[in-house]
């Protein structure tokens, strides 16, 4: 029997149903492999352990037999494989637990594997969106927030712009077709901000005019 940890959500990725007039334009999640490579630095971790293995092999090759030097350096390869597997597992879980949502009024981010939180970011609170595009089409859209809006870097990680700790920028991280989604976000935000807001005001009381 299947089980969905987020079955309590009235709409996937959102804590409540959108109000009247709000429409979901796009929903997606990070590409788990791109997220692992980009935010968890899988490539550099693998290169680190490979360098240790090569260093160990190089220091022993002129002192012992080839087989002994290989046997002494092989544990670093094993440790590197274990570390890489753990990072890939974390990246997959993080991507699976994430849902990014763009509506005609806001950006919503349901993030976190162990501690799940949902960020609601109205377009009126976003001053700028920056796109970092990869050659494979995945990319990150970082959102710069207006005013005194402050978010915790650690709570939002890895769904943030890297190393922007003083003023955390939440980000749609490592999403496929990032350029297309960035255009959609820009058009939705521009349309929402330029739409005039009509406030309902009470009508002034009119003075009664006596008929002649």
151 lies in some domain: yes
134 lies in some domain: yes
Question: Where in the sequence is the domain holding 79, given as residue range(s)?
Answer: 35-94
Per the model's pLDDT, the better-predicted residue between 57 and 26 turns out to be: 26
184 in the same domain as 106: yes
The pLDDT, as a whole number, for residue 61 is 80
Q: What is the mean pLDDT of the chain?
A: 85
Band of the pLDDT at 112, cuts 50, 70, 90?
A: confident
Band of the pLDDT at 142, cuts 50, 70, 90?
A: very high
- The number of folded domains in the chain is 2
127 in the same domain as 84: no
What average pLDDT does range 154-180 have in this prediction?
92
90 in the same domain as 106: no
211 is written with which tokens?
């008929």
Rg (CA), the chain: 26
77 in the same domain as 127: no
138 in the same domain as 178: yes
164 in the same domain as 135: yes
70 lies in some domain: yes
Which of 75, 94, 113 lies at the terminal end of a domain, its last residue? 94
134 in the same domain as 69: no
161 in the same domain as 115: yes
128 lies in some domain: yes
132 in the same domain as 53: no
85 in the same domain as 108: no
Band of the pLDDT at 202, cuts 50, 70, 90?
A: low
Give the least confident one: 13-17, 180-184, 193-197, 199-203: 199-203
Query: CATH number of the domain that 107 lies in?
Result: 2.30.29
Indicate if the pLDDT at residue 2 is higher than 70.
Answer: no
The pLDDT, as a whole number, for residue 201 is 52
Q: What is the pLDDT of residues 69-90, one digit of tens each?
A: 888 899 999 999 999 999 999 9
Question: What is the three-state SS of the chain?
Answer: CCCCCCCCCCECCECCCCCCCCCEEEEECCCHHHHHHHHCCHHHHHHHHHHHHHHHHHHHCCCCCHHHHHHHHHHHHHHHHHHHHHHHHHHHHHHHCCEEEEECCEEEEEECCCCCEEEEEEHHHEEEEEEEECCCCCEEEEEEECCCCCCCHHHHCCCECCCCCCCCCEEEEEECCHHHHHHHHHHHHHHHHHCCCCCCCCCCCCCCCCCC
205 is written with which tokens?
């009381």
114 lies in some domain: yes
Give the least confident one: 62-66, 122-126, 191-195: 191-195
180 in the same domain as 132: yes
137 in the same domain as 55: no
Indicate if the pLDDT at residue 20 is higher than 50.
Answer: yes
Give the number of other Cβ atoms within 10 Å of residue 208's Cβ: 6
Indicate if the pLDDT at residue 207 is higher than 50.
Answer: no
What average pLDDT does range 49-59 have in this prediction?
91
18 lies in some domain: no
208 lies in some domain: no
DSSP bridge partners of 175? 139
Which residues lie closer than 8 Å to 202 by C-beta, 6 or more apart?
none
Q: Could you tell me what percent of the chain has a pLDDT over 70?
A: 87
133 lies in some domain: yes
């Amino acid at each position: 029997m299947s089980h969905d940890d987020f079955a309590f959500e009235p709409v996937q990725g959102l804590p409540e149903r959108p109000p009247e007039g709000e429409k979901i334009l796009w929903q997606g999640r990070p590409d788990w492999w791109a997220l692992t490579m980009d935010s968890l630095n899988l490539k550099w971790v693998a290169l680190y352990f490979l360098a240790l293995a090569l260093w160990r092999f190089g220091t022993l090759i002129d002192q012992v037999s080839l087989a002994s030097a290989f046997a002494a350096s092989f544990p670093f390869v094993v440790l590197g494989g274990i570390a890489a597997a753990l990072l890939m597992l974390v990246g997959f879980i993080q991507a699976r637990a994430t849902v990014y949502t763009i509506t005609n009024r806001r950006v919503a981010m349901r993030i976190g594997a162990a501690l799940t939180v949902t960020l609601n970011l109205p377009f009126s609170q976003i001053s700028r969106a920056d796109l970092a595009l990869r050659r494979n089409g995945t990319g990150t859209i970082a959102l710069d927030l207006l005013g005194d809006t402050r978010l915790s870097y650690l709570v939002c990680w890895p769904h943030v712009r890297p190393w922007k700790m003083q003023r955390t920028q939440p980000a749609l991280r490592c999403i496929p077709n990032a350029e297309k989604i960035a255009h959609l976000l820009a058009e939705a935000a521009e349309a929402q901000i330029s739409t005039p807001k009509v406030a309902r005001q009470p009508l002034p009381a009119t003075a009664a005019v006596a008929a002649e």
